[in-house]
Structure 1
Amino acid sequence: MARNPERRTALVDAAIEVLAREGARGLTFRAVDAQAGVPVGTSSNYFADRDDLLTQTAGRIHVRMTPDPEQVDRAMRPEPSRELVTELMRWLVQRVSTERSGYLAMLELRLEATRRPALRAELDRAIRGAYDESVRFHFDAGLPGDEDSFLVLYLAMTGVLLEHLTLPDALPEADLDRLVESVVTRVLPPR
């Protein structure tokens, strides 16, 4: 198994692009090699099999979608409030929109996980870990709401992102900010 970490990252990033563009059925070693611009056969030197490629791709998506800690610090300067949560959710939509390929690839992986128990276990672990970290962050920051309201906010924003990134014409861009504000206002109590 090849050990060049930069090449492995480039291959996994290429796999994310292939998943987003062609879906799970289009994710082959040959397609990843072509996307990465490397010789045919390179991917098979870095991943034991397709399951290994899928699992490593899932892990890389989370790295790409995690905000820079300095950006988080800047975003958290205002006093904790429902308005701050609204701004954080708008920022989430913007960040995910910028990382559209990663989000679409994650949707493909979620569907593929319904047929691959090892991938499902990896995604369950990763998604649950990210969710738990988000809950901790929310409460440590003193943001409004209880655990149930956070869960409803999380699920509502997941739905907003799904609609926005998969059917962008169904949810006009102009309505997105208003919708985010409406979700937060309806879910979180005023302070």
Structure 2
Amino acid sequence: MHSTSASIHCPNPLCQTLNLESQRFCQQCRTPLQKRYLWAVGAAEPLVPGTLLYDRYWVKQDAIVLDTQPALSPMPPERIPGRVQPYLRLSAYSLHVPQVYGIVPMSVAHTEADVLLLEHAPIYEADTSAEATLMPELAAAWGHSALRQLNWLWQIAQLWEPLSREGVASTLLTPTLLRVEGSLVRLLELRPDRS
């Protein structure tokens, strides 16, 4: 069985000490540790918790990964896949739509598949525990006040046109991709519409 706890490099370029994920400050220089949880999209096979992708991204659970070197910028891809374009064009809606953080090239069974790593996805970042979890689905939180329901519906209606222009409006019709953070609707990822 793989460990689900990762070691994070200190973001201080003069330190770079490995620290446990559960720590809030570097054990060597006391610099606050940055924990960047990302949502991984497009893996050809399920990601295995406790494994390291690209010698950097620790798989926590399902598609949640932790950047173990948060002070370093992700490696730029050789080419930008077409499925990244909607995220780039919808960057003005970053309160609702996650943003592309990086692209991890993976080879599985002689198939090249790039995994998109999305930041600002609806993930509760672990503060004291070592667990990061997804925010609740809209359907699970629906029982709150009628005013909050109207607010969520208004946000979805406002997102319909820009997502439709990018060919990803069906995302708004997929319950598992609609998450909520208090009064805010957040999308887990973008799914292309079927032609």
Flag whether TM exceeds 0.5 (same fold).
no
- Greater relative contact order, per chain length (Cα 8 Å cut-off, separation 6+): 1
> Which structure shows the bigger proportion of residues in helix conformation?
1
> Which structure shows the bigger proportion of residues in strand conformation?
2
Q: TM-score, normalised by structure 2?
A: 0.28
